[in-house]
Amino acid sequence: MSGILYEEASLATFLFVTVILGGAGAWMTGRACAITWRPFYLLLFYLLLLSFAVRFIHFSLFQATLLSVHYWIVDAIFVLVVGSIAYRYTRTNQMVSQYYWLYAKSGPFAWRSI
């Protein structure tokens, strides 16, 4: 399993850099894009930039391969998923709180017309 998801010597390094640092950055990026009413395609661009930064942290601090497409894709998929969830969650809360006379929550990621 270690060869598929991460190349570091330990799982703790992967969890710290990709899951904790990258996930927190992705959550805050998704939230910030939703709060400022930016379109989703701009969020995708920001998250791809963040995935390059996560890969660089792996390289600079833990001597991982910088230009590894396989491991960059793993980092990018994780960052894109977390950022997209944060964007949709925040956007749902915005819609039902700012337009409470039009929309009601129908789940954590969706709203419906009243």
Q: Could you tell me the pLDDT band of residue 68, with boundaries at 50, 70 and 90?
A: confident
Strand residue runs (E) in the chain: 103-107, 110-113
Q: Could you tell me the pLDDT band of residue 85, with boundaries at 50, 70 and 90?
A: very high
At residue 39, what is the residue type?
Answer: P
pTM of the model: 0.89
Distance (Å, rounded) from C-alpha 50 to C-alpha 29?
Answer: 9
Q: What average pLDDT does the chain have?
A: 92
Please tell me the least confidently modeled range out of 26-30, 40-44, 63-67, 87-91. Answer: 63-67
